[in-house]
Chains A and B, each alone.
Chain A
Amino acid sequence: MYSVVILAGGTGSRMHREVPKQFLALAGKPMILHTLERLERIDRVGEVVVACHSQYKDLLKMHIAAYMLKKPYTIVDGGETRQQSAYLGVSAAKYEDIIIHEAARPFVTTGEFQALMDCDAPSATYGLDIPFTVSVQKGGMIAGILERDSLVNIQLPQKLKRTPLLAAYEKAAKDGLVFTEDTSLLYHYTNAPIRVLPGTPNNIKVTDSVDLIAGEAIYREYIVGRD
Chain B
Amino acid sequence: MRTCIITGAGSGIGRAAAIAVAAAGEYEYLALIGRSMDKLEETKSRMQTASQVELFAFDLADLEAIPALVKDIYEKTGEITCLLNIAGYTDPQPLLTTSLESMRLTYETNVFAPFMLIRECARYMRLNRDGAKILNVASTAGITPRPGWLSYASSKAAVVSMSETLAEELAEYGIRVYCISPGRCATALRRKLAPNEDQSKIMQPEDVGRIICTLVSRSEHCLDGQNIIVRKKL
Contacts and interface: CB of A to CB of B under 8 A. Distances in A.
Contacts, number: 15
A226 B170 CA distance: 12
Q: Is the interface of A mostly helix, strand, loop or mixed?
A: mixed
B168 interface: yes
B170 to A, nearest CB: 9
Contact of A28 (B123, B169, B225): B169
Nearest to A70: B127
Interface residues of A, number: 9
A8 B226 CA distance: 37
Contacts of B169: 28-29
Chain B: interface secondary structure? Answer: helix
A82 B225 CA distance: 41
B211 interface: no
A226 B123 contact: no
Nearest to B174: A224
Interface string A164-182: 0000000000000000000
A224 B123 contact: no
A68 B168 contact: no
Interface in A169-227: 219, 223-224, 226
B50 interface: no
Contacts of A223: 172
Interface of B: 123, 126, 168-169, 171-172, 225
15 contacts: A27-B172, A28-B168, A28-B169, A29-B169, A37-B126, A68-B123, A68-B126, A219-B172, A223-B172, A224-B168, A224-B171, A224-B172, A226-B168, A226-B171, A226-B225
